[in-house]
Structure 1
């Protein structure tokens, strides 16, 4: 370990977040399928900001107060009472530009609020569509990093691990990494690098099956493609805005 390099850890599940020191770190919220992919896509397409909330009731209430787009999912489907779901394709520029999106999801928004409660120094969101923006930011900031996988109801999932591995693969020279979960993530990514979708399919990834069951192959493919919406969502004063 080199003393002058900041540390980097990977947390595979919100249930493990207590094991990491977040108050001096940049916490990257990773929910590849689909919350963080949707957040970066909406911001890339000109949304004013995204407000992540942890309950459907709060989403509806806040949406009325600020005349925002209320959106979100529970268990992969549009949550009851909300107008829109968690697909990046629901937020093209002509719809979302200049508007505020109030979003609640099963896993990603929950982890963001957990990181916030534990006093994270900074919170950003990461997904394959903004992989390069995330990597550039982390290298530029020179702060300790926690790659926080949103997982699925606290159970480890493959796609968030793959994204953590992709980040590590690109920026590891800039960090001191003494973390077995980071090594596991990078090893898996190196195995999958040529065809992430095929890897998820071949390994029977649980969320792959869940979304394929809803006919969402197009979403999965988009969410595994690098740099399609390469902006950096940064959490400030209750909102995710473009850095």
Structure 2
């Protein structure tokens, strides 16, 4: 395959930039490393039946009530008022979550999921499932947009680093003409020797560390702890 026949690989650093990308003709990977997409793959890895991502807390409560599901989510790093569970991967061990449905709302990640709804396929990615994500993207041979959830539309470190890690693994299979993909990969290569240490200067690290969540952060930055592929089908995230 010549370089030009290869599918394209692009990185969108913020939901505010998504309208500049050809979502309809791409697979979109939703990236919200701290902590939505890390928690999604962990809950599915531990046997959750499905996860229903919703935009608002009200919707989360009402759908949860209808389905008798677990309602979960955060606003600004804390459990959202009115919900029983938060956004920590450690809240969803197998003995709690197996065969159950979660309705999930987050500050940034679920919003981006809904914005990307016209994509060929939507999957979610984070370090705990990086190998599953990369294997899937290479196998599909479709255009890819790595979509960072960011923080309230501002570019953030952890999602950019994950996008860069994916780019560094799979770029030989794609045509890449995207400065943000290049920037993300360069940043990741700088951070790679110790991603956790590199992240300590980042705003979201400091936000979560204030709540004593360093253990969450370390888990969310560690590859392949929950190596399954969450796929969005009919508005529900299931294991692909």
| Pairwise same-fold verdict (TM > 0.5) | yes
The equivalent residue for 2:230 is 233
1:77 maps to 2:74? no
In the alignment, structure 2 segments of 5+ residues that lack a partner are none
Offset of 1:24 from its aligned partner? Answer: 1.0
Q: Matches of 1:184 and 1:210 in 2, distance apart?
A: 24
Instruction: Tell me the TM-score normalized by structure 1.
Output: 0.98
1:192 maps to 2:186? no
Superposed CA offset, 1:71-95 (max 9, x none): 0000100000000000000000000
Offset of 1:2 from its aligned partner? Answer: 1.5
Q: Matches of 1:166 and 1:15 in 2, distance apart?
A: 22
1:206 to 203, 206, 214: 203
- The alignment's C-alpha RMSD in Å is 0.7
Q: Matches of 2:186 and 2:235 in 1, distance apart?
A: 35
1:223 maps to 2:220? yes
Offset of 1:194 from its aligned partner? Answer: 1.3
Q: Matches of 1:200 and 1:8 in 2, distance apart?
A: 25
In the alignment, structure 1 segments of 5+ residues that lack a partner are none
Instruction: Tell me the TM-score normalized by structure 2.
Output: 0.99
**Match of 2:4, SS?**
coil
1:153 maps to 2:159? no
Offset of 1:240 from its aligned partner? Answer: 0.3
Q: Matches of 1:14 and 1:234 in 2, distance apart?
A: 19
The equivalent residue for 1:112 is 113
Offset of 1:3 from its aligned partner? Answer: 1.5
Offset of 1:4 from its aligned partner? Answer: 1.2
Q: Matches of 2:133 and 2:212 in 1, distance apart?
A: 29
Q: Matches of 1:139 and 1:121 in 2, distance apart?
A: 15
1:100 maps to 2:97? no
**Match of 1:193, SS?**
helix
Trace 1:1-243 onto structure 2 (pairs within 5 A): 2-116=3-117, 119-201=118-200, 204-243=201-240
- 4+ residue runs over 4 A deviation: none
Superposed CA offset, 1:150-191 (max 9, x none): 000000000000000000000000000000000000000001
Q: Matches of 2:177 and 2:43 in 1, distance apart?
A: 35
Q: Matches of 1:10 and 1:237 in 2, distance apart?
A: 25
